[in-house]
Amino acid sequence: MYSLLRPLLFSLDAERAHDATLALLRGGHRLGLVRQAIEPLPVRAFGIDFPNPVGLAAGLDKNGACIDALAALGFGFIEVGTVTPRAQPGNPRPRLFRLPEQQAVINRFGFNNLGVDALVANVERARFRGVLGINIGRNKDTANEDAVRDYVHCMERVYPLASYITVNISSPNTQGLRDLQQEATLRRFVEILRGHQERLASQHGRRVPMLVKLAPDLDTAALDGVAAAMLAARPDGLILTNTTVGRAGVEQHPLAGQAGGLSGRPLMGPATAVLQGMRDRVGDELPLVGVGGITRGADAVAKLAAGACLVQCYTGLVYRGPALVRDCVEAIRARRA
């Protein structure tokens, strides 16, 4: 079905196509037209049992408004957000650009979302009872020195509903956010959140894992520092990676000069290199989730070979549709055989 819809969607402005896709998914799901049955391929990570290791990355469903329809596509887990304490419009439009020749996207959304209360209401309405990650961030007008309060507020609101919580400090589209990845700042920041995580676990009688999502634009020294900070602060896992500010692989494209994060096929190499670099540094101490550039099943297998226990897709779905989920699961199944 997606192969029939794709030409229509690609005839629209990229952000309008994004919104139309979610609307079509919701409508199709209500009519019983959205379903992709995938044979289980169980995996256990950070204390959670996943029906298969292929998940949806954050960003597609920022407000948690399409959880049930997305879950029907066969994902082993769904991650919604990024959500911030207060609603915010994000950056001015246009802010989403397709590069079809490279199977890539550039976005500078800027954490546009309806706020954490709206997301919580949507999650509470959803019927999905599988593995749900909720990705949290800070508001654009919150200074980094005050950012921890935004993350704590979001954590407290989503904690009862989340299977795991992702701390997003790596989007390139919120000014200064990536400064939180500097070693000393990062360690203290994550240690504070870990303290609140344990307090909430005691309060709710249930421990929800906390993951940290990192950027691909880390050189050797930065990787050393981030790995040291993570081994000291001990989150439950890391997600590698977010989008890149680099333009390798698309330098000659007319849209290459657009500000924002690049995702899709050109990100596969850099993101996987950072994933491998982090695995080399943390060993088996921290579970890693591989995301960035997956456009075929072989890419998912390459993420696992580089040290991931789970993978996530987003931009590849723009070009491949739901078939990508099955392709990844079956490629991983064949690798296990």
Burial class (CB in 10 A: 0-12, 13-18, 19+), 334: exposed
Element (H, E) at 151: helix 147-158
* 3 state SS for 274-293: HHHHHHHHHCCCCCEEEECC
15 found inside a domain: no
- What residues contact 101, with CB distance under 8 A and at least 6 apart? 253
pLDDT at 100: 95
pLDDT at 177: 67
16 found inside a domain: no
Band of the pLDDT at 145, cuts 50, 70, 90? Answer: confident
- Indicate the pTM of the whole model: 0.96
The 10s digit of each residue's pLDDT in 216-272 is: 998 999 899 999 999 999 999 999 999 999 999 999 999 999 999 999 999 999 999
155 found inside a domain: yes
13 found inside a domain: no
20 found inside a domain: no
CB 293 within 8 A of CB 328: no
252 found inside a domain: yes
Catalytic residues: 171
Structural domain count, the chain: 1
The 10s digit of each residue's pLDDT in 79-95 is: 999 999 999 999 999 99
2 found inside a domain: no
Q: Give the separation between CA 247 and CA 254, rounded to whole angstroms.
A: 12
Query: Is 79 in a helix, a strand, or coil?
Result: strand
202 found inside a domain: yes
Band of the pLDDT at 316, cuts 50, 70, 90? Answer: very high
- Closest listed residue to residue 288, CA positions, set 240, 247, 249, 322: 240
pLDDT at 62: 97
- The residue segments making up the domain with residue 208 are 36-336
pLDDT at 173: 64
Q: Give the separation between CA 148 and CA 142, rounded to whole angstroms.
A: 10
Could you tell me the CATH number of the domain that includes residue 128?
3.20.20.70
Q: What is the DSSP string of 174-224?
A: STTGGGGGSHHHHHHHHHHHHHHHHHHHHHHTSPPPEEEEE-S---HHHHH
